[in-house]
Amino acid sequence: MANNALVIDERQTDLGNFMVGRLLPFRKKRQVGPFTFIDHMGPATIGDGKYIDVDQHPHIGLSTLTYLFEGEIEHKDSTGSQQVIRPGDVGFMTAGNGVTHTERTPANRRSSEIMMMHGYQIWVALPKELEEMEPNFKFVPSSEIPVWTSGPMTIKLVAGKAFGKEAPLQGYSPLFMVDIKTNEETTLDLRDQLHGEVAFVIVKGSIKVEEETVEAGQMLISKVEDQCAICLDAGTQILLFGGTPLPEEHFLLWNFVSHSKERLQQAKDDWENKRFPQVPNDETYIPFPNYKLKK
């Protein structure tokens, strides 16, 4: 592999009834643009007593972006927002100075029916000056997200700016997230199409870069802007993430992101002492795990 690229393998994490593959942060690369955390959910079957039930938990200093290929998740948060997220939709919760939320299989999908669950949840760090903004939730249905074809590729601009187009969801700093599928072997030329750091998450299939193959379950991070071109094998789907890096270093402690380690410790204390706002009509509580802030 060339010196200007880094390949990351998923690390499996057990969330009770659900396994996720964690791609970011990685010890050699903590962020790609403003993206600071990427979890791959599934693909897995749920139903007949096995559901997604992530109880009430907190965030500060970031936005969570939920994007599904299959299945449904019901989002509820302490701002009063409640939304079922379906395949192709985007749910974007900005935590700011503090929010709590839950993620569950909707009540009307809890039956003996078996359904597939597959998607990603991504955390986007907020710029320093916006870390203490008021929390909010934005929802963009799949029907409002730009989709177009380029040769054998279908391209969907999930967030930000890329390929000369703009998505309804822009975030709070220059970024992009793009979903690309191809049924034929083809070359994706990124010259002058993206700005900032670039990560390629291979959802299915494989890509080739300088005669090296990167397969599903891996992420390729370009160490330079505007990686010229990659070859996509037939039947491949990839997600592109990235953007302009934030000027300050950001730190991660459990579900909290901040440029300030002291602020992270304050958030931990606030959660342990029940000072965060609550999701309406929800008394569940996930205790702070045995995590320590890295020096």
Per-residue pLDDT tens digits for 255-266: 999 999 999 999
pLDDT of 225 reads 57
* Domains in the chain: boundaries: 5-243
pLDDT of 261 reads 96
Q: What are 32-71's pLDDT values in tens digits?
A: 889 988 888 878 888 888 899 999 999 999 999 999 999 9
Stretches in the chain below the pLDDT threshold 50? 1-28
Reduced to 3 states (helix: H, G, I; strand: E, B; else coil), residue 15 is coil
pLDDT of 207 reads 86
Tell me if 20 sits within 8 A of 40, measured CB to CB.
Answer: yes
Residue 227 CB-density burial (10 A; 0-12 exposed, 13-18 middle, 19+ buried)? buried
CA distance 58 to 74: 17
Which tokens in the block code for residue 284? 């569940």
Class for domain 5-243, per CATH?
Answer: mainly beta
